[in-house]
């Protein structure tokens, strides 16, 4: 009896690997979109949490962005011992510093009332600043996460959407 594989067995294995590669390789391009959508879902959750938290605790919060570092965190308005109010990092376990998934990055964050200081304000009456968060995936494809002011809802759109 001979040990080894026949030519037909080797050809079958090569064909099976070829079919698997044709099915798997196109899906690898979707990883960038999946990371971007994961980041958008996390930001959406953070916006909803902060809106609800501001209403429940009657406190002003803001969601700060580090555009270059692709990070974001929450701050709350607190009174200092001197009697002045200042924003300090929030102590809530739900609002720790977050970062974008994979190779997703911030292109920019546009908020009308303070264009050079990227943050979104949340007030105790449920109001949220309207914002356009432009996210870029690993293929340099841009998506816009729109934060709506009255409801705090978000909308993810393909392309760079600007305020009208």
Asked whether residue 7 is domain-assigned, the answer is: no
pTM check: above 0.75: yes
Asked whether residue 39 is domain-assigned, the answer is: yes
Output the domain CATH number for residue 57. 3.55.40.10
**Count of domains observed in the chain:** 1
* Per-residue pLDDT reduced to its tens digit, 142-157: 899 999 988 888 998 8
Looking at residue 95, its pLDDT comes to 67
Confidence category of residue 27, pLDDT binned at 50, 70, 90: low
Asked whether residue 13 is domain-assigned, the answer is: no
Give the separation between CA 108 and CA 93, rounded to whole angstroms. Answer: 26
* Per-residue pLDDT reduced to its tens digit, 28-44: 555 557 888 888 888 99
Asked whether residue 109 is domain-assigned, the answer is: yes
Residues 6 or more apart from 36 whose CB is under 8 A from it?
101, 102, 104, 135, 137, 141, 143
* Per-residue pLDDT reduced to its tens digit, 99-138: 888 888 999 999 887 778 899 999 999 999 999 999 998 8
Q: What's the farthest any 2 CA atoms get from each other in the chain?
A: 92
């Amino acid at each position: 009896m001979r040990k080894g594989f026949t030519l037909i067995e080797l050809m079958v294995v090569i064909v099976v690997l070829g079919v698997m590669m044709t099915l798997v390789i196109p899906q690898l391009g979707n990883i960038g979109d999946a990371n971007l959508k994961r980041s958008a879902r996390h930001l959406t959750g953070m916006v909803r949490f902060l809106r609800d938290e501001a209403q429940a605790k009657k406190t002003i919060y803001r969601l700060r962005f580090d555009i270059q570092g692709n990070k974001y965190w929450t701050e709350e308005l607190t009174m200092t011992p001197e009697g002045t109010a200042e924003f300090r990092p929030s102590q809530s376990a739900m609002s720790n510093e977050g970062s974008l998934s994979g190779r997703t990055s911030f292109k920019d964050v546009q908020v009308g009332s303070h264009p050079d200081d990227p943050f979104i304000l949340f007030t105790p009456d449920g109001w949220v600043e309207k914002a356009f968060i432009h996210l870029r995936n690993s293929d340099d494809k841009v998506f816009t996460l729109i934060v709506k002011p009255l409801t705090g809802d978000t909308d993810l759109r393909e392309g760079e959407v600007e305020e009208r």
